[in-house]
Amino acid sequence: MRGSAPEDEKRTSRSRARRAATATAAAALLLPLVSAAPSADTGPPRATARQQDAGALQRAFADASARYGVPEGVLLAVAYMESRWDGHGGAPSVTGGYGPMHLTDARTALAERPHHGEGGEDPRGDGSRPRKQVSAQPPATTPLPARLRTLDRAAALTGLPAERLREDPAANIGGGAALLAAEQRRLGLRTADPARWYGAVARYSGADDARTAAGFADDVYDVLRHGESRTTDSGQRVTLPAAPGVTADRAQAGRLGLRAAAPAGARLECPRTVSCISVPAPYEEFGDGDYGNHDKADRPEDQSVDAIVVHDTEGSWETTLKLIKDPTYVSWHYTIRSADGLIAQHVPTKDVAWHAGNWYVNAHSVGIEHEGFLAAPDAWYTEAMYRASARLVRYLAHKYDLPLDRQHIIGHDNVPGTTPATIKGMHTDPGPYWDWAHYFRLLGKPFVRTAGPKGGLVTIRPDYDRHRPVYTDCVKPGEPCAPHGSTAVRLHTAPDVSAPLVKDIGLRPDGSPSTTGVNDTGARATTGQRYAVAERRGEWTAIWYLGQKAWFHNPAAQPTAVDAEGPVATPKAGRADIPVYGRAYPEPAAYPPGVPVQAVTPLPYKLLAGQRYAVGNRVHGEYFYAPTFDVSGHTVVRGEDVYYEIQVGHRVGYVRAADVDVRPSHR
């Protein structure tokens, strides 16, 4: 989706109305997650007006611990799970939480901004059925649950005004400590032993079921045992020393009076290390034979699952769960809640959900929505959500034998348009503020140097905290977004920061340059993506990108990419250029009678002789014909044509194997 204005999305039979929200999962009996400690080359962010002396925040935790009797390690670990100790300049999170302790005041902070469907979207990305207009409105706002109103309670306990709790990090930490201490008193416990604070920590999550609350507490104790250290967004250095001997009194969970998880209505496909519920998306007929909101299949028996697509919701958890139950709406497989890590599964992974705006990608992927806003840089994703998502992705990658890399774990913003006409309407989430480097550290696959300077490829990897390119259009067209860490580097036509940005002829057929807009992916390379090196000049590196040389600043003192190697595709000898496609469909001869031949329409991009592009998947041409509710007429068409997925620009693309030679990048 786009951050500030919606566009084309997912499904063919009709356009949708709106959609939002997300979920985050926690776990009972959590297995330790891969350490998310910062990489050795991580440095402090640029100084800001908010910056105080570098130890002030650490002292605030110590002071709040002493005042309210909360073990300092417990307080630090809870805050790390909520915010990674960032204050975000007083801006709220996606769930309306403020400050390091994520005190929630959603009535003040939260606005519904659903993004799926604005009258003209094509959510399936397939032309097998006629489209029709459907008018739907987002659900009415419901009363806010207690988990979204913790700041008021903190104000009552501390006597501090709500505004100060929102804006003053030290006051915010005190408010969080007061809430933890109050929960400990409710349990009748008075102790400095960190192990005996498990119940209070579980309560702090705000979860209303025992498994999700326990999952959050288990993660907090995992952080406490392993320790963490980082420099925050305001330049504060905070350290939680490792305490490997700390155990948790998990028996306290039974004293919280929380409900047991509701029995699932279907078999859940989630790891045991997360809290997961079933909120089924309906497979129903309606109207004049139309149906929704996904397609029955039998993956991986009938089709392979080649990718996991990361989305954000542009709205709240509650709204999202209402929308997924609407048969006239779109679908995705999972939603993850930001506040506590709860995961909801909506569509079995064997079935095809309508989430990517490209029917070929839909047929071969699993879609995961994360509660968040692309164009709100300080509406942060919590550590609980990142960890829950990483556990789910590791589980799915193992189930479908997917490598944990950016060729197989992609953003919605990396999905290609199907034809030249659909390129402008493709979604741009999760956007430049999703922390891919941190996410892949949690997956156990950090982006590291894998070759020398002659390896032939680079993996994009700016320092998220220190790398703060200017974006515009987050709130109003043309206005700068709030400064924030980013995973994306900007691409220029020459090795000079004043040189124009490279052009994306698909987004701008008139040939005008790309912009700094937060939704403009035309001159952007993102963390984890691999590109073939075209040239190096001083502190600048050029890569092959959309058929042209694209330069980005890559100084040795603060590198924005690391060297790599791997297979690359280049046009066959004698070919001046070759076409790029947005889907890997079969040749016409492969279609049986009764199944309409799908045109394999080239995108407006061409790979020129001598250019090289990093290779991902190798796939046979395939088309899933599913035009009716009755699955007896569904057909998977397989052809002889073979395609390579390549990193053609910010989005991936497909080239025919017959058009390219594939060779090691270092040759």
192-217 pLDDT per residue, tens: 999 999 999 999 998 888 888 998 99
DSSP helix/strand/coil, 580: strand
DSSP string of 229-240?
Answer: EEE-TTS-EEEE
Tell me the per-residue pLDDT of 233-249, one tens digit each, with 9 for 90 and over: 889 999 999 999 999 99
Q: Kindly indicate the confidence band of residue 123, based on its pLDDT and cuts at 50, 70 and 90.
A: low
What is the structure's pLDDT at 47? 42
* CA-wise closest residue to 216 among 226, 230, 204, 224: 204
410 phi and psi angles, rounded to 5 deg: -120, 160
Question: Which DSSP symbol is given to 246?
Answer: -
Place of tokens 């620009």: 649
Cis ω for the linkage preceding 114 (within 30 of 0):
no
Q: How far is CA 215 from the centre of its chain?
A: 21
Tokens, residue 268: 């859940």
Task: Assess if residue 591 is contained within a domain.
Answer: yes
Angle at 474 between CA 78 and CA 547, to 5 degrees: 105
Task: Confirm if 223 and 81 have CB atoms less than 8 A apart.
Answer: yes
What is the structure's pLDDT at 4? 35
What is the structure's pLDDT at 24? 29
Tokens, residue 607: 């790979």
Whether 417 has a pLDDT exceeding 60, the answer reads: yes
Task: Assess if residue 74 is contained within a domain.
Answer: no
C-alpha neighbours within 13 Å on the C-beta side of residue 240:
27
Mean pLDDT lowest for which of 16-25, 118-127, 155-164, 454-463?
16-25
What is the structure's pLDDT at 29? 25
Q: What is the pTM of this model?
A: 0.88
For residue 622, what are the domain limits? 569-664
What is the structure's pLDDT at 2? 57
* CA-wise closest residue to 205 among 385, 326, 35, 6: 385
Mean pLDDT lowest for which of 17-21, 476-480, 547-551?
17-21
Task: Confirm if 458 and 551 have CB atoms less than 8 A apart.
Answer: no
pLDDT higher at 586 or 255: 586
593-623 burial code (b ≥16 CB/10 A, e <16): eebeebebeebbbbbeeebbbbbbbebebbb
DSSP helix/strand/coil, 378: coil
Whether 118 has a pLDDT exceeding 70, the answer reads: no
- Alpha-helix runs per DSSP H in 35-159: 56-68, 72-83, 106-109, 150-158
Q: At what angle do helices 383-399 and 72-83 cross, to 10 degrees?
A: 70
Rounded mean pLDDT, 432-443: 96
Task: Assess if residue 238 is contained within a domain.
Answer: no
CA quadruple 363, 368, 371, 373: dihedral sign: negative
What is the structure's pLDDT at 25? 30
What is the structure's pLDDT at 147? 80
DSSP string of 499-533?
Answer: SPBPP-TTT-TT-PPP--BTT--TTEEETT-EEEE
Mean pLDDT lowest for which of 82-86, 122-126, 320-324?
122-126
**What is the percent of the chain where pLDDT is above 90?**
71
DSSP string of 104-121?
Answer: E-HHHH------S-SSS-
Q: Kindly indicate the confidence band of residue 132, based on its pLDDT and cuts at 50, 70 and 90.
A: very low
Q: Kindly indicate the confidence band of residue 143, based on its pLDDT and cuts at 50, 70 and 90.
A: low
Instruction: Give residues with Cβ within 8 angstroms of 593, minimum separation 6.
Output: none
Within 10 Å of residue 94's Cβ, how many Cβ atoms?
Answer: 31
Q: Dihedral, CA atoms, 203, 208, 209, 212, nearest 10 degrees?
A: -60
DSSP string of 311-373?
Answer: EE-SS-HHHHHHHHT-TTS---SEEE-TTT--EEE-S-TTSEES-SS-HHHHHTEEEEEES--
Distance CA 19, CA 293 (A): 13
Tokens, residue 135: 């008018």
pLDDT higher at 257 or 82: 82
Instruction: Give residues with Cβ within 8 angstroms of 104, minimum separation 6.
Output: 95, 96, 97, 98, 147, 148, 149, 150, 151, 206, 339
361, 521, 592, 615 from 412: Cα distances, Å: 10, 12, 32, 19
The overall average pLDDT reported for the chain is 87
What is the structure's pLDDT at 225? 97
Distance CA 269, CA 305 (A): 15
Rounded mean pLDDT, 661-665: 97
Task: Confirm if 563 and 457 have CB atoms less than 8 A apart.
Answer: yes
Task: Confirm if 443 and 16 have CB atoms less than 8 A apart.
Answer: no
Task: Assess if residue 354 is contained within a domain.
Answer: no
Mean pLDDT lowest for which of 78-92, 104-118, 607-621?
104-118
Task: Confirm if 413 and 521 have CB atoms less than 8 A apart.
Answer: yes
Q: Kindly indicate the confidence band of residue 16, based on its pLDDT and cuts at 50, 70 and 90.
A: very low
What is the structure's pLDDT at 40? 30
What is the structure's pLDDT at 318? 85
What is the structure's pLDDT at 262? 52
Rounded mean pLDDT, 243-270: 81
In the chain, the number of structural domains is: 1
528: left (phi over 0), alpha (psi -120 to 50) or beta: left
Distance CA 563, CA 567 (A): 14
Task: Assess if residue 657 is contained within a domain.
Answer: yes
Mean pLDDT lowest for which of 146-155, 402-411, 412-421, 565-574?
146-155
Task: Confirm if 354 and 330 have CB atoms less than 8 A apart.
Answer: yes
What is the structure's pLDDT at 111? 45
What is the structure's pLDDT at 12? 37
Rounded to a whole number of angstroms, the CA Rg of the chain reads 25
Task: Assess if residue 285 is contained within a domain.
Answer: no
Task: Confirm if 584 and 655 have CB atoms less than 8 A apart.
Answer: no
Task: Assess if residue 244 is contained within a domain.
Answer: no
Within 10 Å of residue 478's Cβ, how many Cβ atoms?
Answer: 9
Task: Assess if residue 587 is contained within a domain.
Answer: yes
Whether 116 has a pLDDT exceeding 60, the answer reads: no
Distance CA 186, CA 196 (A): 13
Tell me the per-residue pLDDT of 304-356, one tens digit each, with 9 for 90 and over: 999 999 999 987 888 889 889 999 889 999 999 988 899 999 999 999 999 99
What is the structure's pLDDT at 175? 98
Distance CA 544, CA 552 (A): 11
Distance CA 61, CA 82 (A): 14
DSSP string of 525-555?
Answer: EETT-EEEEEEEETTEEEEEETTEEEEEE--
